[in-house]
Structure 1
Amino acid sequence: MAGWMWLRCVVGPHLQRIHRSPEQSRPEGRSGRRGWNYQARSLEKHTHSILGWASALWSLSYYSSPLLLCYLYRKGYICSSKLVPVSQYVGTVLVCLLGVACLRGWGRWKNSEYLQFISILEETKTNHTPANKKKLRCYDFDFASWPSDFSWTEVSSPKLSKGGVSLLKPEPRLRGAADSVLNSVRTLPCHIISFLIAHSFGRRMLYPGSVGLLQKAMRPMLQQGQARLIEEFDGQRNKLVACDGNNIDTMFVDRRRDGGQNGQTLVICCEGNAGFYEVGCMNTPLEGGYSVLGWNHPGFGGSTGVPFPQNEANAMDVVIQFAIHKLGFQLTDIVIYAWSIGGFTATWAVMSYPEIQSIVLDASFDDLLPLALKVMPDSWRPLVQHTVRQYMNLNNAEQLLKYQGPVLLIRRTRDEIITTTGPEDIMSNRGNNLLLKLLQFRYPKIMTDEGVRVVRQWLGASSHLEEMSVYSGYEVDDDWCTSVLQSYQADRDVLFPWSVGEDMTVEGRRQLALFLARKYMQNFDTTHCTPLPATEFHSPWRL
């Protein structure tokens, strides 16, 4: 038995923090509420450091292997006479590392805290009961060893294809010459280059949070944020298995027992391209008293995979299924809240699950392509267009237009990220385009050329005072606008787009256009990355 436990210590995961001890074995003097960092003893600490450096060198060698192999070939080292000594050297190194791992296991075996942890982990894997899982949640360790809490196979999702993958709308293909063999041959180099760009630096530029070095630098901050969620808010960490096999790292804070009205609503948070639920936008609805479910993009934190659009949609799908079937929320109880690039999965969610209560998009954009063209050379324009549309088509506006429910857009007036010319030009903010496309689709008779013009004038206001000046300058009567829209809705009960405004004067359409713009969008005078205060987060306007 002792030998088996020592072996489990050798191959066991790295333990980072003990959030709180199981009640029956709480050490004397330890608080049951606050946690502490796991204190590895000297032998375990030094051997773990050696193995960490070996892992880093292996990763460096792996990514530089093409250059390394070319260099060795030019120097004549890749031949039978040289390979035998090299293989012997590699074998010696592997044996030494195996010995180091065994020593680390010995150090863990002599540590009562690690021994208790590994016993609970093995017991949970064997008998996955709620009581065992509650004990396991007292520990923070390598998420790869965390047992699965929910899988897409447990339910039959209507959003999945026969192959088990959530569907994204494919780009339309042109017929005629575009389908000819000659054109296919001509465009083959472009396809190859686009593929290489998307799967190398392109994906990492779009989602820098998936870069391992950045995650390693942020690890202390992420561990601190996770400890806060678990120890102060009683958060529950869960591993979800998406239909593509990726493991999705999630955190759930349940406020339903607190008795507040907001606690009955679940806010699912979709983070930005360098955001993690540990330190991201999840804190905003938490401060507002809502129940909150945060999750990390594929390739972020404990989540596996890479954050391409299809993988993102698959992750969002399993998160919603988990909220419904395991957490016990109805779709009508769920609000989707997204910041920045998280608007893609948020709009996919409301497009695919139209019964969702509402959506709040903070500092988000309508389409990735204009922003990608902004940061790339003009000579690359055709290549950038093809790469984005083929591999990174984050078409938020197109997906949002398929949703009939309440929408709130939050625009950062000094946003420096989603503007195409700079933060000083507020009219280049792509949030403007998202609002205009939404209003033009839902209220086409109101958003004629004159309606678009006055909304653009309102969007171009440089301050709240100027914004109110534009609003009052057109003598907008909020009560009249509300009564007109309510009367239309009561008489018809139709889906968007509405024909309200077709028999109205120009002045009436102007008033309605400004009224609707103000209801669908609120301004927040700050930059892109400033956390949104809880006072700025609220449910979207309902007629």
Structure 2
Amino acid sequence: MAGWMWLRCILGPHLQRIHRSPNPSRLESSASALWSLSYYSSPLLLCYLYRKVLYNKMFFVSCVLTCISVFFLWKNSEYVQFVSILEETKQNHTPGNKPSSTIIYIFFLFSFLIVHSFGRRMLYPGSVRLLQKAMKSLLDQGRNKLVEEFDGQRNKLVACDGNEIDTMFVDRRRDRGENGQTLVICCEGNAGFYEIGCMNTPLEGGYSVLGWNHPGFVGSTGIPFPQNEANAMDVVIQFAVHKLGFQLSDIVIYAWSIGGFTASWAVMSYPEIQSLVLDASFDDLLPLALKVMPSNWRPLVQYTVRHYINLNNAEQLLKYQGPVLLIRRTRDEIITTADTEDIMSNRGNDLLLKLLQFRYPKIMTDEGIRVVRQWLAASNHIEEMSVYSGYEVDDDWCSSVLQSYQADRDVLFPWSVGEDMTLEGRRQLALFLARKYMRNFESTHCTPLPASEFHSPWRL
């Protein structure tokens, strides 16, 4: 009996068929479709694994780990019970012993396979070796330029997970400009590298700059999963403070696109950081993932994102009390959930609204949200100013109200300012704050940000 159960643990449950109910749920339909896909694609998967085995020196280790996992399955009473019920079902098909957990088993399996195969490569194409080889010449030129023209210092940092993080530091503290005393740490996009990425924007502005490449990108080891990303960001900040000699209050975090995840993690974890600038970033990965995946995969996408690649920038950002500037690309085609021309589907809007609603809940009531959305719908500077002037916003009055509140209380966010204010006053403050926290840049997602558009965030 024990030998039979050991064999079943090696081979795994043998699913004969998933019987659908008369009105199957979307989850059941998705699971059934995924099972069919896995069944008929298994020969290709086996061929792929066979080729990997021939060239992978870790095959022996994999075999050992497989034996260990089988042993624990064999010792797991719930799994043994599941296999027993499944075998009994083969002999006696009754409603009482149907293995209802099979759908969940397949669901979890496919979630794991998706994120560890094409999922993370879609999310971080810069980690794909083929792309890195194609860009090698361009990256080498960019790195050489940073070293030879800007006297850049290249360092390899070892994160707490053992990953090596490739960095480039340009020191401007000896220059006469005031900006050189501030260190801008840059967080690149999902196919960005410090050699040719957003690092050039603060460099042109005369700042000291520290760039780094994601785990698994050129020069860095590992895989760009969220925890690895956070570990990389952590060691970069530690390096800036303990080796380069900057104070946290002298550091600005600047991120482009998906770099907003590590940037928001940085300011959440190091609240003393001076300020944060997010360019073309989003509030949450999930709506963007749902946009590009089949609609009937929705439950699978939701589970996969939340459990493996939960890049919830807004959640982290709300834990930071310092100055923030959001830069929205008015023709952004990447972080929109609808047509490119629909500026209101830009997830940067949601990031702004969530931030303002958290920090100023008494101002951002339904009416406050409505007027800010009206302002966000403006696709150019003329339309933006038309909305702003239409509500007769008095900048001086708004500043004095906020300064007075801050001086009297000196409290952390969220503030209760606007609680005993007229509707007109709250409208003015809502638009004033929206304009201070967000700037528009009339461009597409991947256009490099000019140094003239890189500003320090507003502060009272």
TM over 0.5: yes
Distance 1:466 1:246 in 2: 48
Instruction: Identify the residue that residue 385 of structure 1 maps to in structure 2.
Output: 302
Do the aligned partners of residues 69 and 458 (structure 1) sit closer, same or farther apart at CA in structure 2, a change above 3 Å counting?
closer
Do the aligned partners of residues 303 and 502 (structure 1) sit closer, same or farther apart at CA in structure 2, a change above 3 Å counting?
same
CA deviation map 1:193-226 (0-9, x unaligned): 1110000000000000000000000000000000
Aligned 1:337-486 pairs, distance under 5 A? 337-486=254-403
Counterpart check, 1:320 vs 2:300? no
Distance 2:100 2:234 in 1: 37
Aligned length: 371
Distance 1:246 1:419 in 2: 33
Instruction: Identify the residue that residue 149 of structure 1 maps to in structure 2.
Output: none
Please give the secondary structure, in 1, of the residue aligned with 2:352. helix
Counterpart check, 1:489 vs 2:416? no
Pairwise CA distance, 1:417: 0.1
Selected match of 2:47 from 67, 88, 100: 67
Question: Counterpart of 2:287 in structure 1: which amino acid?
Answer: P
Instruction: Identify the residue that residue 114 of structure 2 maps to in structure 1.
Output: 197
Distance 1:275 1:490 in 2: 42
CA deviation map 1:241-295 (0-9, x unaligned): 0000000000000000112110000000000000000000000000000000000
Pairwise CA distance, 1:66: 3.6
Please give the secondary structure, in 2, of the residue aligned with 1:237. strand
Distance 2:366 2:49 in 1: 62
Question: Counterpart of 1:295 in structure 2: which amino acid?
Answer: W
Please give the secondary structure, in 2, of the residue aligned with 1:519. helix
Instruction: Identify the residue that residue 540 of structure 1 maps to in structure 2.
Output: 457
Instruction: Identify the residue that residue 293 of structure 1 maps to in structure 2.
Output: 210
Question: Counterpart of 2:446 in structure 1: which amino acid?
Answer: C
Please give the secondary structure, in 2, of the residue aligned with 1:257. coil
Counterpart check, 1:514 vs 2:431? yes
Distance 1:473 1:479 in 2: 17
Pairwise CA distance, 1:187: 2.1
Distance 2:164 2:286 in 1: 29
TM-score (norm 1): 0.67
Instruction: Identify the residue that residue 189 of structure 2 maps to in structure 1.
Output: 272
The unaligned stretches of length 5 or more in structure 2 are 1-43, 55-98
Pairwise CA distance, 1:191: 1.3
Question: Counterpart of 1:249 in structure 2: which amino acid?
Answer: D
Pairwise CA distance, 1:448: 0.2
Distance 1:402 1:218 in 2: 37
Pairwise CA distance, 1:190: 1.3
Selected match of 2:228 from 311, 314, 338: 311
Distance 2:443 2:103 in 1: 47
Aligned-pair identity in percent equals: 84
Instruction: Identify the residue that residue 220 of structure 1 maps to in structure 2.
Output: 137
Do the aligned partners of residues 65 and 426 (structure 1) sit closer, same or farther apart at CA in structure 2, a change above 3 Å counting?
closer
The unaligned stretches of length 5 or more in structure 1 are 1-63, 72-85, 87-181
Distance 2:134 2:48 in 1: 26
Please give the root-mean-square deviation of Cα atoms over the aligned residues, in Å: 1.5
Instruction: Identify the residue that residue 420 of structure 2 maps to in structure 1.
Output: 503
TM-score (norm 2): 0.79
Pairwise CA distance, 1:186: 4.9
Pairwise CA distance, 1:429: 0.1
Distance 2:218 2:50 in 1: 34
Question: Counterpart of 1:315 in structure 2: which amino acid?
Answer: A
CA deviation map 1:62-113 (0-9, x unaligned): xx99416779xxxxxxxxxxxxxx9xxxxxxxxxxxxxxxxxxxxxxxxxxx
Distance 1:68 1:192 in 2: 18
